[in-house]
Amino acid sequence: LSAPLRAEPVRAEQAPNSGAPALARVAVVGFPNVGKSTLVNRLAGVREAVVDAQPGVTRDRKELPAEWRGRRFLLVDTGGVDERDEGEIQRQVRAQVARALEQADLVLLVCDARAGLRPGDVEAARAVSRSGRPALVVANKVDDPRQLGLAQEFWALGLGEPLAVSAAHGLGTGDLLDQVVELLERSVGDRERDQAGNVGESAAATPPAEDLRRVALIGRPNVGKSSLLNRLVGEERVIVTPIAGTTRDPIDSEVEFEGRRFVLVDTAGIRRRGRIDEPVEWYARLRAERAAQRADVAIVVADAREGVTADDLRIAELAMRSHCATVIALNKWDVATCDLEEVKARVASRLRQRPPVVPVSALTGRGLKRLVALALELAERVHERLPTPALNRLLSETLALRQPPAVRGKRLRAYYFTQYATAPPRFALQVSDKGLVARDWILFLENRLRERFGLEGVPLVIDLRERG
């Protein structure tokens, strides 16, 4: 694969020398063979691979200049671990991390997502946290979007959201570089504030956003996400406040639209276009999944000239699996060629969570107020707990309407229905015998539950419990 270069290498005349302030140093650490060297080369835009395919090859520590979004920094490949013996490797990794930490402004802890979480990763993460240095966890070797889930395991390192990349194929590296630059800017800002002796001033100026609902705007390229974003933030009268003071969400924005306040997740990602060399679908999917994981509700944007496509359905499914509520915005309604009722029927038959479909136009502004109101409504539902008596009334009515089918001559008895968790809502249905439960009947119950309590678009789980 010959993906284009990621970051521009720094030209000789720009290199740090006489009198210029020292470049920030980004140390790349991790177990041997996780792909540190490959990543450094990729991020620095070095074309010819300096990587030996053999595991554990000795290398000298290497420093490469890199640049992203006009910010220059040094990537430090700490390398130098060449032992095959486990104990010795661990000792050397420790020494390597310690060395890197001494001088780093930011640490990238690289792990092998295919190999999964290993004791060496945990140990390195501990050293990184103790140092107090800003750090990012990079889950490498995610070569295929279907493997994105592999990165989740590395949350366990306690260093925040693991970023899935494929250093070999240049996937996910744009997001990684965004985060690197963001964190470097922040740590420089912190240092300057420390020196000026007015720590915390900017944090105090930012209103708290914890109690606001979180909304993700996701979808395929060109469906109109950026246009919708512009509408929501009020074009030129920008009311967007980047939320400061949190390490994990540097790119979220607080938005006020038609009197409603919420947090729009990953605003930078919505706007990003044209400079990403990753395959479009890979990126769209990656961003959709990441944004949905941090949101209460996802607005899945589709193009009304095409209706809801198979890709749109897949993105909505991804959001649901991230336990995020979904609403489908059928954008470009001003030039629609699809039939709304047909689209709604298709969505209801194809998506288990049955998200509502709202026609909108980023161009004219039509439908946006309703879309936002509905999205925020669903976000509330995700966190709501339904009263047990109401659920049991629904259960009796459902049983009266349609009895569970008999299996091997025996009929299921359902005794009790209750909600035991929120976000996502989780229900328990107490039954006589789990072996008698027909999937169709549970779906019937689930759909009635959605209709009765306005849970269309809300991910929910019904657990079966046998009466003991």
**Binding-site ranges for ligand GDP (CB under 6 A):** 30, 32-38, 51, 53, 140-141, 143, 166-168, 219, 221-227, 273, 331-332, 334-335, 361-363
Residue whose CB is less far from ligand GDP, 59 or 261? 59
Query: Closest separation between CB of residue 412 and ligand GDP, Å?
Result: 46
Name the binding residues for GTP: 30-37, 77-81, 140-143, 219-226, 266-270, 331-334
Residue whose CB is less far from ligand GDP, 30 or 425? 30
Query: Closest separation between CB of residue 211 and ligand GDP, Å?
Result: 29
Residue whose CB is less far from ligand GDP, 118 or 273? 273
Residue whose CB is less far from ligand GDP, 142 or 325? 142
The full 3-state SS of the chain, as one line of letters, equals: CCCCCCCECCCHHHCCCCCCCCCEEEEEEECCCCCHHHHHHHHHCCCCCCCCCCCCCCCCCEEEEEEECCEEEEEEECCCCCCCCHHHHHHHHHHHHHHHHHHCCEEEEEEECCCCCCHHHHHHHHHHHHHCCCEEEEEECCCCHHHHHHHHHHHHHCCCCCEECECCCCECHHHHHHHHHHHHHHHHHHHHHHHHCCCCHHHHHCCCCCCCCEEEEEECCCCCHHHHHHHHCCCCCCCCEECCCCCCCCCCEEEEECCEEEEEECHHHHHCCCCCCCCHHHHHHHHHHHHHHCCCEEEEEEECCCECCHHHHHHHHHHHHCCCEEEEEEECHHHCCCCHHHHHHHHHHHCCCCCCEEECCCCCCCCHHHHHHHHHHHHHHHCCCCCHHHHHHHHHHHHHHCCCCEECCEECCEEEEEEEECCCCEEEEEECCHHHCCHHHHHHHHHHHHHHHCCCCCCCEEEEEECC
Query: Closest separation between CB of residue 109 and ligand GDP, Å?
Result: 11
Query: Closest separation between CB of residue 146 and ligand GDP, Å?
Result: 14
Residue whose CB is less far from ligand GDP, 64 or 212? 64
Residue whose CB is less far from ligand GDP, 227 or 392? 227
Query: Closest separation between CB of residue 252 and ligand GDP, Å?
Result: 17
Query: Closest separation between CB of residue 381 and ligand GDP, Å?
Result: 26
